[in-house]
Structure 1
Amino acid sequence: MAAEAENVPIPSSCHCGAIKVTVPRLPQYTNYCQCTICRRYGVAWAYYHPDEVKIETKPDAITRQYIWGDRTASFNFCDNCGCMCYWWPLGPRPTDGEEYMMGVNTNNMDPEVLKYVDRKFSYSYVKVPMKAKDATHPEDLATYEH
């Protein structure tokens, strides 16, 4: 794909159009995360720094959040049509040079735009260490720090 096409803003929206999310360029890949929540949502994440992503809502639109586990991310969806739009990192920004990213659901984008983007199924979050066992899903295979 031509480099100029890779750096064109890509819009997405929930089904009813109340929430619009625009990213600055094609993602490196889309990730079908297989953790207990993402596989149930059926999402395909693309990752960007939050400062790069533009989120717009129509007047009176409501974005709902679901926060679970270690409370490190909020999953944000349209209250009207129910489409999962993005996850947002919670807590302080890392100061040690660690990446600070959010996930945007590419299933809300035009599939024609993404047809040459690599897709991967990530199982890396299935066993990520969690802070507390009581905050996880019963099917979670994670290890626990405490």
Structure 2
Amino acid sequence: MTQTQNDSQQNPAKAGVRTYTGGCHCGAVRYEATVNLADVSRCNCTFCTKYGDGGSTSMKPEAFRLLKGQEDVTQYARKGSPNSRSFCKHCGVMCFGAGDVPELGGAFRSIHIGTLDDVDPSLLTYQYWDGRHDNWMAGSRSSPWPFQATVS
């Protein structure tokens, strides 16, 4: 085995585009996604912060396949948002999301990094988004955005 092959097995961010499997804690929901884990994000929006954002990555809808559990999924979307998150009805784990944001490339699916099988999240490099302030047009950056309390 070459050093490059060994690196990509140890660090999925070096593997390039490949197909991963994942799912919820209880096993009712299973999916497959073809992604490059060199492009993993963390967001500081109120949803991601409250959920304990462990990171996510997005792909075009055709690169995501729900393998099992359509009847076991429930969705949450903020009123008026085109974006949703899908949870297992049994164990409560958020496995994936979907949406359409034209400014960021249109229709997408996303997966929560913690739901991937056999991927060590500590080996990944994260890009940070400032969703808390709807600062999407600023793009991502390599360090977290400063937390600024919202004024009530």
Same-fold status (TM-score > 0.5): yes
How many residue pairs get aligned? The number is 128
Matched, 1:27 2:37: yes
Residue 120 of structure 1 aligns to a residue in which SS? strand
Distance 1:97 1:69 in 2: 20
- Structure 1, residues 65-90: CA drift from partner, whole Å, max 9, x if none? 11104322111000000000111115
- Residues 16-25 or 106-115, more deviating: 106-115
Residue in structure 1 matched with residue 67 of structure 2 by the alignment? 56
Matched, 1:127 2:120: no
Distance 2:81 2:97 in 1: 12
- Structure 1, residues 9-65: CA drift from partner, whole Å, max 9, x if none? 111110011111211133223222110111111231111111111112248x42011
Residue ranges of structure 2 left out of the alignment (5+ in a row): 1-6, 136-148
Distance 1:34 1:25 in 2: 22
Residue in structure 2 matched with residue 132 of structure 1 by the alignment? none
Residue ranges of structure 1 left out of the alignment (5+ in a row): 130-139
Distance 2:25 2:89 in 1: 11
Distance 1:128 1:7 in 2: 29
Q: Which protein has the bigger helix share?
A: 2
Percentage of matched positions with identical amino acids: 20
TM-score, normalized by length of structure 1?
A: 0.70
Letter in 1 for 2:36: L
